[in-house]
Amino acid sequence: MKKIAIYGKGGIGKSTTVSNLSRALSAKGKTVMQIGCDPKADSTKSLVGGKRIPTILDTLKEKKKDTKLNDLIVVGDGGVLCLEAGGPTPGIGCAGRGIISAFEKLEELNAYDIYKPDVVIYDVLGDVVCGGFAMPLRKGYSDEVFIVTSGEMMSMYAANNIATAVKQFSNREYASLGGLILNAKNIENETKLVENLSKELKTTIIQRIPRNPIVQKAENLGKTVVEAFPEDDMSSVYMELAEKII
């Protein structure tokens, strides 16, 4: 089982990238489990027809001790196992604590042993890497971390912070930094800017994802590009990313 965490600044297109990666991996015959770790709980929606699925936290509140594993998992396109940790009511409680509760429940219910996914992907809000948001970095949860960024200043600033946190955790046998994923915004000298960042972080750009309106077109259909337009060049980009992740 390969376990990876994908971080990135909010709004960078991280969940879009993760969902297309999950669908591409499933197209390669892998059993994939995607776990959304953002309080917005919208990581998996393009894998399930554009709808939000019940979150682990909400289900735990409703069913409490009667919660079963199949109450938490929705099977999406290509057989991707979709889960959303969820978060507290805005202004009440800690979203990071919600992630911890969700992870603890999945362990209690033996989710990984029962479903035996080939690849587990944690889609994590990357503006903060503390408390529960650092859970996917911990030993036993993920082996590698990939950071989605563009050439925009704030996106690279967030990527630098995340990479620094990963390296600080490395001496505790936590996940290692696997590389950057450049989700292009077509700003001037973008590739060069991110290449410079990767050198500073002593890592590499593992994939460049070009800006393409077909991504939004697929999302408007409630689908990934890989599902909706498998013959398009953009689908090949995500398939290449999947191969590199494997």
98's tokens: 């919600």
User: Could you tell me which of 47, 52, 51, 1 has the C-alpha nearest to residue 23?
Assistant: 47
The amino acid at residue 41 is: A
- Determine how many CB atoms are found less than 10 A away from the CB of residue 230: 14
Q: How far is CA 81 from CA 23, 33, 45, 122, 197, in A?
A: 10, 5, 12, 12, 34
Q: 156-192 burial string, b = 16+ CB within 10 Å, else e?
A: bebbebbbebbeebeeeebbebbbbbbbbeeeeebee
User: Residue 126: what residue type?
Assistant: G
Catalytic positions, written as ranges: 9, 14, 40, 127
Closest CA to 233 of 208, 214, 207, 217: 214
Packed helices 14-27 and 233-245: angle between N→C axes, nearest 10 degrees: 80
